[in-house]
Amino acid sequence: MAGHAPAATVEAVIRQTRRGVTFMLPTEDAVWAGQEMARRFGLPQWQFTLTATDANRFAIRIARGLTGRPKILVFNYCYHGTVDETLGVLDDLGAVTFRPGNMGAPVPPSVTTRVVEFNDLEGLERELAAGDVAC
């Protein structure tokens, strides 16, 4: 989000790293940043993460909570982080299956995930028709 190592960002990260980088508990900086984001963008609550995978995980949980829908939809073989639900792919027959090399998924990905090929509008409409996709 801040580019590839501009000097000002590198210096700010170094200063913060010396103070700590955990988001497990609120910090004064997190409170200030949340309040500033609320002021700038008008949204009262913010969730901070250190990785895109954590951001994806939170987005999926929030979408499921708001919609009451259990499934997510991803594009076949696109990178979506390492959230279990995002590691489903299409097999040769078009069924959702485990991505090769994925170990330890808690359930078969077809239980939680719908997968479509990128730019396949017909496939996307088909997968959304069931009305069970949260995001």
Overall residue count recorded for the chain in this entry: 135
This model's pTM is above 0.85: no
Measure Cα distances from 102 to 35, 90, 107, 108, 135 in Å. 39, 14, 12, 11, 22
- Residue 83: per-residue pLDDT: 87
pLDDT tens digits along 18-66 = 887 766 677 788 888 899 999 999 999 888 887 888 889 999 999 999 9
Domain ranges of the chain: 69-128
